[in-house]
Amino acid sequence: MRKKIVAANWKMNLDLTEGAELVNDIFNGSPELNENKIVVIAPPYIHLTHTSAQLVGMNHVHLGAQNCHAEPSGAYTGEISAAMLKSAEVEYVIIGHSERREYCHEDDAVLSKKVNQALANGLKVIFCCGEPLAVRDANEQNAYVESQLTAGLFHLPVTQLIDITIAYEPIWAIGTGRTATSAQAQDMHAHIRKVLANKYGETVAAETPILYGGSCKPSNAAELFACPDVDGGLIGGASLKAAEFLGIVAAMSNA
Ligand code: 13P
């Protein structure tokens, strides 16, 4: 049975006090979770140790990071390695987010190296893909996303796919308030699952969680998560307020 996941990507938001309060509120308000219905919280690096301590005793809520470096160690001022994340009890790392592709110029080659570093250090990967508006308007989104998956992930042997979650985040829906319709999300998620099946077989495709991201909120989460190939969400803005995030977690829990 594949997992349902709601993952919080705080991006560059919340100071230490605000972050601790938010985790505390999530702790107090979380609906029933289990090993197949989980939450991941990915705060900025500086929060990780403290958030990790807060999550002790909070069942099925896992710690994530928003990035790691493509090299194992060395003279990369300001960077954080996958091994460092592992030592801070991090379990998941987001790789390939469109904001890092755009603002940090992370290309397919560097992203595939990051995936390798993460997996080699025992981290699970949330690999992001998604098209810009011009590609959607040209109706070329399927080929675009397939090429992102091929370049970033398809060098992996089938045995490593167990540690991969995919997040489909159409760039035109991120932080814009313009959510993909549930039909658009379902179409793309079904396409991604078919691409996975072609490369790795039906069993792997059926077991890989595929999350939707982009202006997901309590008011649209239930409809999105009811789609057969939408296995939860990667949440930006709505993950910063406990009530909104918990509303989305509840939608996942009830799906
Ligand atoms: P929003 O939920 O703010 O649109 O962000 C989505 C996202 O980029 C999560 O990684």
The residue whose C-alpha atom lies closest to atom 9 belonging to ligand 1 is 236
- Which percentage of the chain shows pLDDT scores above 70? 100
State residue 138's pLDDT score. 96
Kindly state the tokens that stand for 174. Answer: 């991120």
Higher pLDDT, 125 or 31: 125
State residue 32's pLDDT score. 87
41: alpha, beta or left? (left if phi > 0; alpha if psi -120 to 50): beta
Choose one of 93, 174, 176 to mutate for the ligand 1 pocket test, by most ligand atoms within 8 angstroms of C-beta. Answer: 174
The residue whose C-alpha atom lies closest to atom 7 belonging to ligand 1 is 236
Any idea what the CATH number is for the domain that residue 240 is in?
3.20.20.70
State residue 64's pLDDT score. 98
Q: Measuring CA to CA, how many Å separate 120 from each of 26, 87, 115?
A: 31, 13, 8
The domain tally of the chain equals 1
C-alpha 40 to ligand 1 mean position (Å)? 14
Output the CA torsion 67→219→36→151 (10° steps).
Answer: -40
C-alpha 129 to ligand 1 mean position (Å)? 12
Instruction: Cite the active site residues.
Output: 97, 169
Full residue range of the structural domain in which residue 19 is found: 4-254
pLDDT tens-digit series, residues 151-179: 999 999 999 999 999 999 999 999 888 88
| Local confidence band at 57 (pLDDT 50, 70, 90 cut-offs) | confident
The residue whose C-alpha atom lies closest to atom 1 belonging to ligand 1 is 236
State residue 28's pLDDT score. 92
This prediction has a pTM of 0.98
Which ligand 1 atom minimizes the distance to the CA of 215? 4
State residue 5's pLDDT score. 98
State residue 128's pLDDT score. 98
C-alpha 178 to ligand 1 mean position (Å)? 11
**pLDDT surpassing 90 at residue 216:** yes
State residue 175's pLDDT score. 85
Which ligand 1 atom minimizes the distance to the CA of 167? 10
State residue 1's pLDDT score. 86
The residue whose C-alpha atom lies closest to atom 5 belonging to ligand 1 is 236
Distance of CA 155 to the CA centre of its chain: 20
When pLDDT is averaged across residues 59-84 and rounded to a whole number, the result is 98
State residue 176's pLDDT score. 87
Pocket, ligand 1, Cβ cutoff 6 A: 9, 97, 169, 174-175, 213-216, 234-238
Mean residue pLDDT across the chain: 97
C-alpha 41 to ligand 1 mean position (Å)? 13
